């Protein structure tokens, strides 16, 4: 007798379970755990910790114990002693970093001063009382912006050794910002420029980022900066 097409043969093998899709190449085996670990690690790195300060096993043990609601394996006195040890270690590291930064800053200041002293002698370079130096590459005929104006510019910034640290030209899109919201060297120069001007700016450290250096680490403490700046427009 013919069986309906919908009937199942009890002797037939079970259908195979659908295959589990493979994780994308390069993805951590435990993405959630990896994300949590990265987040914690970034916070610890920001506070000055280094990998040799603890073991991954110790970190995992502490996290799992806390999640499970277990009582701490350390006494209050032991934890306080560890906190003190950590503070001492991190403070010593910070002092070492500041001392090294001071040495770098002093060396950079000397290099910057020598560079600006020689640069001031070059043809076409003009110096302002503030220490700002500039050279006119192209003369514009437009208006001069005020500190309250928003301007559109193209620029390329380099260190005195020629290293490019920022460039709207390379990005292919002009920058737009308020004149009063930039470093002092830019503020002074922009208010002397006319729309259409292209200048080379030679900015001493005290009119740039000073002893602290620039954001992102690309500009060290007390570095003189060079910018090629083209004032394209005054937006308002």
Task: Map out the domains of the chain as residue ranges.
Answer: 118-234
Phi, psi of 225 (to 5 degrees): -125, 150
Q: Is 54 part of the annotated catalytic residue set? A: no
Active site (annotated) includes residue 227? yes
* Catalytic-labelled residue, pool 115, 134, 155, 202: 155
- pLDDT for the residue numbered 42: 95
pLDDT tens over the chain, length 236 residues: 344 444 444 455 555 555 545 556 778 999 999 999 999 999 999 999 999 999 999 999 999 999 999 999 999 999 999 999 999 999 999 999 889 989 999 999 999 999 999 999 999 999 999 999 999 999 999 999 999 999 999 999 999 999 999 999 999 999 999 999 999 999 999 999 999 999 999 999 999 999 999 987 789 999 999 999 999 999 98
Choosing from 166, 203, 219, 234, which is the catalytic residue?
166
- Looking at 59, 150, 183, 233, which residue is catalytic? 183
Catalytic residue chosen out of the listed positions 134, 209, 219, 234: 209
Catalytic residue list contains 165: yes
**Does domain 118-234 bear CATH number 3.10.50.40?**
yes
115 among known catalytic residues: no
Annotated catalytic residue 49: no
Condensed to tens digits (0 to 9), the pLDDT of residues 4-44 reads 444 444 455 555 555 545 556 778 999 999 999 999 999 99
- The number of residues in the chain equals 236
- Is 34 one of the catalytic residues? no
The DSSP element (H or E) to which 44 belongs, if any, is: helix 31-47
Q: What is the pTM of this model?
A: 0.71
Instruction: Tell me the torsion sign for CA atoms 87, 88, 91, 96.
Output: negative
């Amino acid at each position: 007798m013919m069986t309906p097409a919908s009937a199942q043969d009890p002797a037939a093998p079970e259908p195979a379970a659908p295959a589990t899709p493979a994780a994308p190449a390069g993805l951590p085996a435990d993405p959630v755990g990896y994300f949590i670990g990265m987040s914690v690690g970034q916070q610890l790195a920001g506070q000055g910790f280094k990998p040799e300060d603890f073991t991954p096993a110790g970190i995992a043990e502490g996290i799992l114990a806390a999640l499970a609601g277990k009582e701490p394996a350390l006494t209050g006195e032991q934890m306080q002693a560890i906190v003190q040890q950590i503070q001492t270690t991190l403070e010593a590291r910070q002092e070492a970093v500041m001392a090294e930064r001071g040495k770098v800053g002093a060396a950079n200041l000397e290099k910057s001063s020598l560079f600006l002293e020689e640069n001031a002698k070059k043809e076409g370079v003009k110096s302002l009382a503030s220490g700002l130096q500039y050279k006119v590459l192209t003369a514009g005929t437009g208006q001069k912006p005020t500190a309250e104006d928003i301007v559109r510019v193209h620029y390329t910034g380099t260190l005195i050794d020629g290293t490019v640290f920022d460039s709207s030209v390379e990005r292919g899109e002009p920058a737009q910002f308020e004149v009063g919201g930039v470093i002092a060297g830019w503020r002074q120069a922009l208010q002397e420029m006319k729309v259409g001007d292209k200048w080379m700016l030679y900015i001493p450290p005290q009119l740039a980022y000073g002893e602290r250096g620039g954001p992102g680490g690309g500009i060290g403490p007390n570095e003189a900066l060079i910018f090629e700046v083209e004032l394209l427009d005054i937006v308002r």
